[in-house]
Structure 1
Amino acid sequence: MSPVTCRAARALLAWPQQQLASAANIGLSTVKSFEGGNTLPRRTSLDAMQRALEAAGVTFTNGGEPGVKLRKAGS
């Protein structure tokens, strides 16, 4: 997950940064710093953010065109 895909995932969910921080059980400053491209958080924090977004319905796509999308309800 990159800062850009993290911001895009939050936008799909209409989550403010604080909601992601709470869902991932990490500090708000970690989310802000990562999304701003200022620091790379510890792997555990990065994984926690991605898991929280995925649990809320986001799918991260890979390959030549990385991105994010929302899963269909019930998927």
Structure 2
Amino acid sequence: MDEKEAARILTPAACRAARALLGWTIDDLVKAARTSPNSVSRFERGDGPIRPTTAVQIVQAFAASGVEILNGDGTGVRMLRPDPR
């Protein structure tokens, strides 16, 4: 997935929904995506856009744990397979 696509599909609501589906805290996402807790918290609150490279890291972390971001006409996520943790 390229940076433009990741930034387009990763909305604050999708990020929160994906974390909820996995039962992840922000710290869990930060560890899986190797990003900063401030970036994730600020993004999820809607306090500004996230860097495209960070969006890719987050989308890939969710995908590695079996969650796909589905944003067509609205926000959505789905579990592709059980979380391997």
For normalisation by structure 1, the TM-score amounts to: 0.89
Q: Distance in 1 between matches of 2:71 and 2:11?
A: 11
For normalisation by structure 2, the TM-score amounts to: 0.79
Note if 1:72 corresponds to 2:81. Answer: yes
Note if 1:19 corresponds to 2:28. Answer: yes
Aligned-CA RMSD value: 1.2
Q: Which runs of 5+ in 1 are unaligned?
A: none
Q: Percent identity?
A: 37
* Off by >2 Å, runs of 4+ in structure 1: 62-66
Q: Which runs of 5+ in 2 are unaligned?
A: 1-9
Q: Which residue pairs with 1:35 in the alignment?
A: 44
